[in-house]
């Protein structure tokens, strides 16, 4: 309880009111109310929450842990990371004790501290399952922690009572029913399981600083879909670090620079790339308009392309599907290449001495 008691005063309720349209052409009905959580970042009254809590509402209020309520001003939203910054009168608010996500380890205690929407708990305990390591830095923190209604936008604390993340939501980890098992009884089906997901607090603070001064974020955008190749494929293509490009979006910065599907990105702006999350982090942290060198492996040829980083569109990914007349044929070719790669990987694993 010491950890919760230290963080709880820094977590507030965020209340967003919006007009609900009953049907097309109908008059607006009652106000719709969404309740979530927020984190007090500093003594200036800056409150960090999520886009899923605020939505398009600008009729916003913040309720402190002592029950006092005050109106909130919308300062800006970062749709790439799903974060919103609000500002309220700071009197009586306690800034959150901030920790360092880089110091987390898998299996360490993860405590979610959030506001309750109804009679649900304000906090939940679990363990960190995905954290930064010496070679990778994931885009999100993942935790085996139950998420209750109203907790979104709340704080993720470590065992020392320091805030290390902002709760984004939860993802299901329950496998789908096996083929032909649609009639399985409820007793035979696995219980629903979820994994809570959070933005690391250091990235959230950087986003908040931009929103406070500019009202918008400036995450970079490359326009590629990638995956981390299996070790067998790396051995086959003779490279250690890098990510394989599965698709390049039409009219994207990558396409303009001559980067192609099938290329392997070895480094971005002079920094080696070991996995897709690392590439997302590097690109997102680059200001749009910046020219960066991208080192590639194309077949057995190493080459460099200069790319002008673009501005990230709304959404959680580096690139979103777009309408393009060539897209279907490209995706079919990618599927063919994937099957060829899988076949080569199996052959390599079965080869003598492998």
Per-residue pLDDT of the chain (354 residues; tens, 9 = 90+): 677 888 999 999 999 998 765 555 545 556 788 899 999 999 999 999 999 999 888 899 999 988 899 999 999 998 878 899 999 999 999 999 999 988 888 889 999 999 765 556 688 899 998 765 545 556 788 898 888 888 999 999 999 999 999 999 887 665 555 544 444 444 444 444 578 899 999 989 989 998 998 887 777 889 998 888 777 667 777 777 888 898 999 999 999 999 999 999 999 999 988 888 788 878 887 888 999 999 999 988 999 999 999 987 755 433 332 333 344 445 455 555 666 676 676 677 777 765
Q: Which residue has the tokens 């929407």?
A: 117
Domains in the chain: boundaries = 2-21+28-87, 101-174+192-214, 220-340
pLDDT of amino acid 60: 94
- The CATH class for the domain spanning 2-21+28-87 reads mainly beta
pLDDT of amino acid 353: 66
Q: In whole angstroms, what is the distance from residue 284 CA to residue 300 CA? A: 29
**Contact by Cβ (8 Å): 72, 43:** no
251 Cβ contact list (under 8 Å, min separation 6): none
pLDDT of amino acid 167: 94
Element (H, E) at 29: strand 28-40
Q: In whole angstroms, what is the distance from residue 154 CA to residue 7 CA? A: 10
Q: In whole angstroms, what is the distance from residue 341 CA to residue 345 CA? A: 6
Would you say the CATH fold of 101-174+192-214 matches that of 2-21+28-87?
Answer: yes
Q: In whole angstroms, what is the distance from residue 198 CA to residue 151 CA? A: 11
Element (H, E) at 86: strand 83-87
CATH assignment, 101-174+192-214:
2.40.10.10
DSSP result, 182-249: TT--GGGSPPP-EEEEEEEHHHHHHHHHHHHHHSB---EE--EEEEPPPHHHHHHHT-SS-EEEEEE-
**Contact by Cβ (8 Å): 146, 122:** no
Out of 2.30.42.10, 3.90.1520.10, 3.30.470.20, 1.10.540.10, select the CATH number for domain 220-340.
Answer: 2.30.42.10
Nearest Cα residue to 253 out of 187, 309, 203, 172: 309
């Amino acid at each position: 309880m010491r950890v919760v008691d230290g963080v709880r005063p820094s977590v507030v309720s965020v209340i967003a009111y919006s007009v609900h349209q009953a049907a097309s052409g109908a008059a607006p009905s009652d106000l719709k109310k969404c309740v979530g959580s927020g984190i007090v970042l500093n003594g200036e009254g800056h409150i960090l929450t999520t886009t899923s809590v605020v939505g398009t509402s600008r009729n916003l209020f913040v309720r402190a842990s002592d029950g006092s309520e005050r109106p909130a001003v919308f300062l800006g939203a970062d749709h790439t990371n799903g974060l919103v910054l609000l500002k309220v009168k700071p009197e009586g608010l306690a800034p959150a004790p901030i920790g360092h996500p880089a110091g987390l380890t898998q299996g360490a205690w993860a405590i979610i501290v959030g506001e309750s929407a109804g009679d649900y708990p304000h906090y939940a305990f679990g363990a960190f399952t995905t954290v930064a390591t010496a070679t990778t830095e994931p885009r999100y923190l993942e935790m085996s922690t139950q998420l209750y209604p109203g907790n979104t936008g709340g704080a993720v604390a470590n065992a020392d009572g320091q805030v290390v993340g902002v709760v984004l939501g939860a993802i299901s980890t329950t496998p789908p029913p096996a083929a032909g098992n649609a009639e399985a009884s409820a007793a035979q089906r696995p219980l629903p399981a979820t994994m809570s997901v959070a933005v690391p607090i250091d990235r959230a603070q950087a986003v908040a600083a931009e929103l406070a001064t500019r009202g918008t974020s400036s995450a970079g955008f490359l326009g590629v879909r990638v995956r981390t190749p299996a070790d067998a494929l790396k051995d086959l293509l003779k490279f250690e670090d890098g990510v394989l490009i599965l698709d390049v979006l039409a009219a994207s910065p990558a396409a303009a620079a001559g980067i192609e599907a099938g290329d392997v990105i070895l480094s971005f702006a002079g920094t080696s790339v070991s996995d897709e999350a690392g590439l997302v982090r590097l690109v997102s942290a680059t200001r749009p308009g910046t020219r960066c060198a991208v080192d590639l492996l194309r077949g057995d040829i190493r080459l460099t392309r200069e790319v002008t980083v673009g501005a990230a569109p709304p959404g959680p990914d580096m690139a979103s599907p777009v309408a393009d007349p060539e897209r279907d044929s490209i995706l079919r070719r990618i599927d063919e290449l994937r099957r060829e790669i899988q076949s080569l990987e199996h052959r390599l694993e079965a080869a003598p001495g492998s």
